[in-house]
Amino acid sequence: MKRRDFLKGCMICGAASSLGISKKAWGSGSFEGYPEGMGVLVDLTRCIGCRSCEAACNKEQQLPEPKVPFDDQSVFEEKRRPTEAAYTVVNRYEQSGGPVYRKVQCNHCNEPACLTSCFVNAYTKTKEGAVVYNSKVCVGCRNCMIACPFNVPGYSYSSATNPVIKKCIFCYDTRLKYGKPPACVEICPQEVLTFGHRNDLIKIGHERIRETPDKYVDHIYGEKEVGGTGWLYLSSVPFDKVGFDNTLGNEPIISNVKEFLGTVPMVLSIWPALFTGFHLLSTRQKGHGDDHGHDAHSKSEQEGAKK
């Protein structure tokens, strides 16, 4: 093989392969969240488990009628998670001081793992702080479900022709966009949910803790967790007792992946030179080693055919 031919081949393939990753670098930059982002402060100490928020969400998002009506308390026997049919669920945790209820929905992370893991970029973090998604491009790899540290996104498995990701969108289309609080917040009779700028909510949270330190655990869940989330929680019992994962750490999920992404340009730039070098070194003494095995036959085949 002539060296020129080799280089040609190398370039064709190199071009093809780098096309995929050259745009990579900018995607992995860190993202701090929008300063004007909105959020919701959830005060678990106030929640009575009435499930009105579930009902309001169901109506607002036009979800299917649930099997068990919203005033039925039997659902608390099990721990539920958000699904395609319910973007938010309330779970009950029996504690020594009585039951504690916890509303689960998308936390609208500052640096959403779902967003960074999606290979068609279906997710968007809007400037209002909502994490929304474009179901028109969702391929259905369900990587975002793997990535979400809070196990939020659901998938409409039941649909054969158009299954997509389904999750809480902070009522973005119908409310948040117009500055209005989401349906679940508005309906809550106990004022468990406080809607506002995330920065203000953090202040409010700390204030509540300072005012009644006996009532609260001195921590706002979501202030720092996985890079900070739009929805924040106050609790009277340790968070891991009521279904929160305390082991997530404060680094956004994408930080784990950066180490690998960092090696990509390195491999791309060093490998071709390295292996071309190997090739030249190892074939120099042997001359052109093309006439072996299968090749030997092909040559004589061509010659034979010409005769």
- Asked whether position 163 contacts another protein by CB under 8 A, the answer is yes
Q: Is 118 helix (H, G, I), strand (E, B) or coil?
A: coil
30: number of Cβ within 10 Å: 10
- Asked whether position 138 contacts ligand SF4 by CB under 6 A, the answer is no
* Count of positions (residues) in the chain: 307
Q: Is 100 helix (H, G, I), strand (E, B) or coil?
A: strand
- Asked whether position 104 contacts ligand SF4 by CB under 6 A, the answer is no
Nearer of residues 50 and 169 to another protein, judged by Cβ: 169
Q: Which stretch binds another protein (CB under 8 A): 33-41, 50-58, 66-74, 144-152?
A: 144-152
Q: What is the dihedral of CA 170, 171, 173, 175, to 10 degrees?
A: -110
Site string for another protein, 77-96 (x = CB under 8 A): ----xxxx------------
* 61 binding partner (options ligand SF4, another protein, none; Cβ < 5 to 8 Å by kind): ligand SF4
H-only helix segments in the chain: 3-21, 24-27, 52-60, 113-117, 143-147, 183-187, 198-211, 254-284, 293-306
- Asked whether position 267 contacts another protein by CB under 8 A, the answer is yes
Of 21, 28, 49, 276, which lies in the binding site for ligand SF4, with binding defined by CB under 6 A? Answer: 49
* 60 binding partner (options ligand SF4, another protein, none; Cβ < 5 to 8 Å by kind): ligand SF4
* 140 binding partner (options another protein, ligand SF4, none; Cβ < 5 to 8 Å by kind): another protein
CA distance 111 to 253: 8
Q: Which of 128, 109, 126 is nearest to 117 (CA)?
A: 109
* 68 binding partner (options ligand SF4, another protein, none; Cβ < 5 to 8 Å by kind): none
Q: Tokens for 178? A: 């117009």
Nearer of residues 214 and 286 to another protein, judged by Cβ: 286
| Contact between residue 57 and residue 87 where contact means Cβ atoms under 8 Å apart | yes
Of 190, 204, 209, 257, which lies in the binding site for ligand SF4, with binding defined by CB under 6 A? Answer: 190
Beta pairing, strands 89-95 & 98-104: antiparallel
Q: Tokens for 104? A: 């689960």
Q: Tokens for 68? A: 């068990």
Q: Tell the smallest beta-carbon distance from residue 218 to ligand SF4 (Å).
A: 22
- Asked whether position 64 contacts another protein by CB under 8 A, the answer is no
Contact positions toward ligand SF4, by CB under 6 A? 47-53, 56-57, 60-61, 87-88, 90, 101, 103, 105-109, 112-114, 131, 148, 150, 152-153, 167-171, 182-184, 188, 190, 192-193
